[in-house]
Structure formats: C-alpha cells, structure tokens
Amino acid sequence: MQMGAVPGKDFLCVATPGSEDYFIYGTDSFTILQQSGNATAIEAQRHLADVLMDPDFQRRFNQFKGSIPARTDIDMSTFDVCAQKAAKLFKSAGAADHLLPSMTHSMAVDVQTKEVFFRVLNDFFTYPDMSAKQAVAQLNTALIAVKGL
C-alpha cells in the first residue's frame, strides 16, 4: 500500500481455502513494568496506556500499519476494504471460538517448534520432488527431536 496499491483493486484479501471461518492473529505488545512507590512513573504508564488505546490513535496507527485496531468499538468505515473484512471476520471468529494465535509470531508454539515447521514447509515448497508423505515424515522426526520424545 505504501507503493500506491489499492486493496480490493490491485490485490485481494482472501482466506486460505478451508479457513474462511477462522482468524489467525498477531498482536502488538507494549510491556509496562510494575512500579512500586514511584507515582511519577505510574502516572506516565497510565498516560502511555491511555494514548495507545485512544480511539483516534488506534485508527491512525492501524490504518498506517495496514492492521485492525485492538479495540472492537472503532468505526471501521474509514479503513480499506481488507481491514474492514478482517475486523468483521475477527469478530465472527471470536464469537465462534475460532481465533487462532499466530505460529509466525511464536504465540502458538515455542521458537524451536516454529523453526521446525518453517524449515520443513520451506523444503516442501522449494523441492518439487519432495512428496507430502516425505514432508510429514521429516516433520514428525524433527518434532520428536525438538520435544525430546
């Protein structure tokens, strides 16, 4: 989008076949450490949280990033068609208990397990002579090794 591409026109936003009712999510996280007895630091932390969750900031931040707001009460009418579609799916997937944490961002599995999946999937798509059966066998062997089973 930074290059002027228009969502819904120059590219489409579609789910992987078979995953239309699910939403894989990643999050932006800000860590605020506990402060004891430091009123100035506590007030600064509250101010930071207020700024980050401000509806106008959420709208501008997520429009710039090409993501959807953490807040579900943000008016999505000024967002592009892909963000509107994502926000709608996020809500419906949440209602159906179909929200899935991202493996890419190590939210679903530990880093070592993620790397095993990525390495085997990369090999499967890079080497046309690798069969699905071989990929599954490699994945199984590697996961057993990583998990120490």
The secondary structure of 48-93 as a DSSP string is HHHHHH-HHHHHHHHHHHT---S-TTS--TTS-HHHHHHHHHHHHH
pLDDT score at 21 = 94
Contacts 24+ apart (CB under 8 A), 68-73: 70/27, 70/28
Q: Whole-prediction pTM value?
A: 0.76
Extract the tokens encoding 51: 């700024």
Domain boundaries, the chain: 23-101, 111-147
Fold of 23-101: D-Maltodextrin-Binding Protein; domain 2 (3.40.190)
Instruction: Tell me the pLDDT of the chain (149 aa) as tens digits.
Output: 668 888 888 999 998 888 999 999 998 888 899 988 899 999 999 999 999 999 999 999 999 998 999 999 999 999 999 999 999 999 999 999 999 999 988 889 999 999 999 999 999 999 999 999 999 999 999 999 988 86
pLDDT score at 149 = 66
Angle at 94 between CA 61 and CA 143, to 5 degrees: 90
Which string of DSSP letters, residue by residue, matches 91-141?
A: HHHHHTT-EEE-TTTTSSS-HHHHHHHHHHHHHHHH-TT--HHHHHHHHHH
> What number of other Cβ atoms are within 10 A of residue 11's Cβ?
11
Tell me the one-letter amino acid at 10: D
pLDDT score at 99 = 96
pLDDT score at 29 = 86
Surface-to-core class of residue 69, CB atoms within 10 Å of its CB (0-12 exposed, 13-18 middle, 19+ buried): buried
pLDDT score at 137 = 97
pLDDT score at 1 = 66
